[in-house]
Structure 1
Amino acid sequence: MKSVLYTMMLAAFLNPFASSSLTMSFPDMMREFGASTNDMAWVVEAFLLCCTMAVIPAGKLADIYGKRKLFYIGSIVFTIISGLMCFVGSVEMLTVYRALQGIALGIVYTTSMSILTLSVPVERRGYAFGMIGGMVYLGLSLGPALGGFLNYYYGWRSIFVFTTLLGVVANVMAFRSLHKEWVHTPDSSISMKSLLLYALGISAVMVGITEWVRFWWSVYAFVVGLVALSVLGYVEWHSKDPLIPVRIFVSNLGFTMSSVAAMMNFSATFGVGFVLSLFLQMIMGFDSRMTGLILCIQTGIMVFLAPRMGALSDRYNPSQFARWGMVLIGLGLLSMAYGTFTESMAIIMISLAIVGIGVSCFAPPNNNLIMSSVPKTYIGFASSTISTVRLLGQTMSMALIGVILAHTIEGMSALQMMEYNSTVALVVFGVICLVGAIPAGVRNMRN
């Protein structure tokens, strides 16, 4: 079990690290390629969009052809694409490669969660998911710091050299530790109609949310996405071999509510670092290095505490950990809002610690609830659901920030509006988490 866990931990690290490590390199890339900020925004959006679109089909394909096989494909493709990105010569090619990298990592993350669930005994799953959660937070916190270091001393291409090496290590570990093929529905197939409806729906919804503030047509894209997903839901409800088993959302309340709670959690927490980064530098006057160190209070606690909370959720009711974790996050964000309103660094730092404890209490037990609430035939779909709600939540979080930061009040200066809007954003995020505590507490586990 340990060798599989270590392999999946590295896989869990790859996704957040790959998505966050380039942020400090964008100015250098813009100068080299003559690119605009909108060009760089599409580099980010292409990664997130393709990763989101890949996870559901990847879960289905893994059930048909084998989870180990799909994991190998995703990991090998990620490594090859990372190597090719060292030689990219235009922002257009960078965007294409990042899209392919997103697809590969969507496959890796989805299959890794399934493999971990099937490899670890039920009584140890909380601990395992806690370790995975710790690696996700480590990737999120190390990404900008290590990416910035590599970019400063060796140039932005060195980041892809590093991720290529990580990919090679992940492949070696996978070939040495994964000796079993998990195939649950070999006679199943993927409907091309369902696949096209899913791709259209999820991409239109994500683009509509992401571009909500910038473009007038975003609302129409969002509506088209909702219509496509509604049609997909109708088709899948009546399908004997669905791509998305929508009936499970009606029949399995625990699975549905835990998934909703996860999306609300990511909607509320993903954008906190962005809001605080702007506030601490533009209002409080800290430089980027000190701002990064302050934000590490939350991530450091999560890296340390998440495995331990996961292990405790193996012994006690995980739904209660998830519920009170959401409550702690909500209270931490509301107190953080008070800290930004009063410009109190002590309150902000204490609030970051509270949020870190809350996320550690919520994430591993809630993932355990999702993966343990379905029979083995739906493990692939459950894993895909975790990935999908995470990415949708991240997208919604940034969309909320865009809407809030675009708000203006006559008579207020730009800095005053930044301070006011930062407080409003944290209040909104805190309320979302407090409401999210309701679905987080629903329990309906199956061994």
Structure 2
Amino acid sequence: MSKLTGIRRGIAFAAIILGYFMALLDTTIVNVTLPEMTRQFNTAMDDMSWIVNGYNLAFAVFLITASRIADQFGRKRLFLVGTALFVVTSILCGLSTSVETMVFYRVLQGMSAAIVVPVTIPLAADLFPKEKHGMVLGIWGAISSLAAASGPTLGGILTNSIGWEAIFFVNVPIGIAAICLAIPLIRESFDTSAGRKIDWLGVLTLSAAMFCITYGLINVSEWGWDSLKFIGYMAAFLVFIVLFLIVELRTSVPMLPLWLLRILPFNGAVLTLVMIGAGITASTYLMSYFLTGILGNSILEAGITISAMSLASMVISAIAGGMSNKYGSRWFVTAGMGILALSFYLYGSLNAASTEWSVVWRLILTGVGIGLSVAPVMGASIRNVPEEKIGIASGIMNMSRAIGSVLGVAILVSVLNTALSHYSGEAVNKIKLQIESSADLSAEAKEVILEQVGRMVQEKSSAGAKNAEGAILLQLDTMEKALLSEADESVKQELQAAFTQQRQELGQQLSQVSTDLQDAFVASFSRTFHAGGWFLLLGIPFALISDRRGGKRLMTDPSMRAFAANEDA
């Protein structure tokens, strides 16, 4: 443990937290700016999605590798390297002039975040005595929530006031401050049992396995669960995992000590974090669509509303972290998983007439569930492994959360798309019959309406009916002026009456279109949220085994220390 005391210890902890905050901020701050980037780069939204996916993919793939290298060659050293690389790649992202270069730099940025995030826990733990670790992890969890809460809001403000480039440049002063504080105040730490030899075969096989499962899950909503592409990537994942296990069993210096996976509470914590990651990301992702598409919020308004979840999580996490260290984690985590599942299920009762408070209190409930879960389960994970293995354990835990994030989105987006296909399919067929049977609408007006209906289904938003009405009214005005300028006085009144009738019919039809599609979207989201609630209940059995009774540290048992030593030998 570090000999730093008082103010210096607090400043050293602040340096670690700054680096952690910066890396997590970039997982959420970018989302709100994608429409503006799409416009400036003049490209499709599908291409822009890889600005987010590239970061997340690299982050998930390199977490464990970075943790192992940090254990071997110095956690402080890797923290400084990762933070410096993050600052440089942030500048390059802000200076990017094409989507291709932006995606490339975002991948590098994700790799640097994978270096920074897992070493923050062992570095912070080294600053404080064991009895303070719960408090430390509570603050760590609170900062995680703060980054998630401030990302969309800060991204919207910076983009609106300065430009999208500012969301990357804001990392520069944060990163520089973290480096300047860390160099003199943080003590270097290692896993003394890790050695210096790099297990290259282990690195390659594990990285390939993580790439296959993450890339496959990111794309499954586009490919389909039964597509040959997805099945191929999952098969490749299994092959590389088997090869990795064979390599680790044969090598004298494995990158991942497999005996860690024999510790039941640690396995429970890993699987619990998969479910927590699924719940956090899927709730944010789906609620963003619901708020903008059903309730008509702007992207910035939706971000501010969703911040209620993160702020609640921040407060509860700071409290639960310290208490779980004293009383044990498993009941905190179990309660958190139950509340998270319940809040997700309650989202299913929201509709287009729901008030802002109806949304906010559900989001707060989600935040309570997250706050009760994340810090306590991370605390359980480091209590149930040898002290020198906290670094690699942190990498495994962060990787499980990252995998859970893409898994949750993949599953629930598939449920949403299936529900949309059913409900909106019925609504679209009904709309087509109504539009095509109208005697007052022109063929051009019918075509524009049906085109807009298809666009609304694709965007999961019923707000496009107003856009269609404006486009058709403009078209009608142009046609009316042209015909009236050439018509005889005797038929002008009749023409004007016909156009007036067409406008009235247009308003009625589009109002019905909006209502029918809105009902279909609400039903689709309701089914998805209910399914998500039942899915997250699967995390409760894992939560129940995520810590020992009373939260006692596993490795205080001499027999377990001997077991670990024999396995390493």
**Shared fold by TM > 0.5?**
yes
Q: Please name the residue that 2:426 is paired with.
A: 411
Q: Deviations over 1:17-57 (max 9, x none)?
A: 11211112222222332332222122211111111122111
Gaps in structure 1 of 5+ consecutive residues: none
Distance 1:315 1:157, change over 3 A: same
Q: Please name the residue that 2:348 is paired with.
A: 337
Q: Please name the residue that 1:427 is paired with.
A: 530
Matched, 1:171 2:182: no
Matched, 1:212 2:227: no
Matched, 1:233 2:245: yes
Task: Give the distance between the partners of 2:369 and 2:525, measured in 1 at CA.
Answer: 21
In structure 2, which of residues 259, 268, 283 is the aligned counterpart of residue 272 of structure 1? 283
Q: Please name the residue that 2:18 is paired with.
A: 10
Q: Please name the residue that 1:117 is paired with.
A: 125
Alpha carbons 2:134, 2:379 under 8 Å: kept: yes
Task: Give the distance between the partners of 2:350 and 2:356, measured in 1 at CA.
Answer: 7
Task: Give the distance between the partners of 2:533 and 2:355, measured in 1 at CA.
Answer: 18
2:385 counterpart SS class: coil
Task: Give the distance between the partners of 1:349 and 1:181, measured in 2 at CA.
Answer: 43
In structure 2, which of residues 205, 209, 213 is the aligned counterpart of residue 201 of structure 1? 209
Aligned residues: 446
Q: Deviations over 1:344-397 (max 9, x none)?
A: 655433322221111111111100001121102322210101210111111112
Q: Which amino acid aligns with 1:319?
A: R
Alpha carbons 2:216, 2:234 under 8 Å: kept: yes
In structure 2, which of residues 304, 319, 325 is the aligned counterpart of residue 314 of structure 1? 325
Which segment drifts farther, 347-356 or 305-314?
A: 347-356
Q: Which amino acid aligns with 1:177?
A: L
Give the C-alpha shift of residue 343 in structure 1: 4.5
Distance 1:244 1:187, change over 3 A: closer
Alpha carbons 1:21, 1:159 under 8 Å: kept: yes
Q: Percent identity?
A: 21
Q: Please name the residue that 2:260 is paired with.
A: 248
Task: Give the distance between the partners of 2:301 and 2:43, measured in 1 at CA.
Answer: 29
Pair member with larger Rg: 2
Matched, 1:285 2:296: yes
Distance 1:440 1:213, change over 3 A: same
Higher relative contact order (CA 8 A, sep 6+): 1
Task: Give the distance between the partners of 2:306 and 2:259, measured in 1 at CA.
Answer: 41
Distance 1:101 1:289, change over 3 A: closer
1:279 counterpart SS class: helix
Give the C-alpha shift of residue 342 in structure 1: 8.5
Which segment drifts farther, 403-412 or 57-66?
A: 403-412
Task: Give the distance between the partners of 1:188 and 1:428, measured in 2 at CA.
Answer: 47
Q: How does 1:40-439 map to 2 (within 5 A)?
A: 40-185=48-193, 187-215=195-223, 216=227, 217-249=229-261, 251-340=262-351, 343=354, 346-407=357-418, 408-409=421-422, 410-413=425-428, 414=457, 415=517, 416-439=519-542
Q: Which amino acid aligns with 2:43?
A: A
Q: Deviations over 1:105-138 (max 9, x none)?
A: 1100111112122322221111111111111111
Task: Give the distance between the partners of 1:59 and 1:397, measured in 2 at CA.
Answer: 24
Alpha carbons 1:200, 1:228 under 8 Å: kept: yes
Task: Give the distance between the partners of 2:235 and 2:520, measured in 1 at CA.
Answer: 31
Give the C-alpha shift of residue 272 in structure 1: 0.8
2:349 counterpart SS class: helix
Task: Give the distance between the partners of 1:346 and 1:31, measured in 2 at CA.
Answer: 33
Which segment drifts farther, 219-228 or 71-80?
A: 219-228
Task: Give the distance between the partners of 1:375 and 1:191, measured in 2 at CA.
Answer: 21
Gaps in structure 2 of 5+ consecutive residues: 1-8, 429-456, 458-516, 557-569
2:427 counterpart SS class: coil
Distance 1:345 1:78, change over 3 A: closer
Task: Give the distance between the partners of 1:436 and 1:261, measured in 2 at CA.
Answer: 5
Task: Give the distance between the partners of 1:74 and 1:106, measured in 2 at CA.
Answer: 8
Root mean square deviation, CA, Å: 2.0
Q: Which amino acid aligns with 2:325?
A: D
Task: Give the distance between the partners of 1:400 and 1:55, measured in 2 at CA.
Answer: 23
Task: Give the distance between the partners of 1:193 and 1:289, measured in 2 at CA.
Answer: 45
Task: Give the distance between the partners of 2:390 and 2:33, measured in 1 at CA.
Answer: 37
Task: Give the distance between the partners of 1:306 and 1:429, measured in 2 at CA.
Answer: 23
2:254 counterpart SS class: coil
TM-score (normalised: structure 2): 0.75
Alpha carbons 1:16, 1:139 under 8 Å: kept: yes
Q: Which amino acid aligns with 1:229?
A: I
Give the C-alpha shift of residue 269 in structure 1: 2.3
Q: How does 1:21-32 map to 2 (within 5 A)?
A: 21-32=29-40
Q: Which amino acid aligns with 1:306?
A: S
Give the C-alpha shift of residue 192 in structure 1: 2.0
Give the C-alpha shift of residue 74 in structure 1: 0.6
Task: Give the distance between the partners of 1:367 and 1:111, measured in 2 at CA.
Answer: 13
Give the C-alpha shift of residue 305 in structure 1: 2.1
Q: Deviations over 1:198-257 (max 9, x none)?
A: 1211111111111112134222112212221122123323433212223321x2000000
Distance 1:54 1:28, change over 3 A: same
Give the C-alpha shift of residue 188 in structure 1: 4.0
Give the C-alpha shift of residue 273 in structure 1: 1.7
Which segment drifts farther, 340-349 or 271-280?
A: 340-349
2:26 counterpart SS class: helix
Distance 1:391 1:182, change over 3 A: same
Which segment drifts farther, 429-438 or 375-384?
A: 429-438
Alpha carbons 1:25, 1:147 under 8 Å: kept: yes
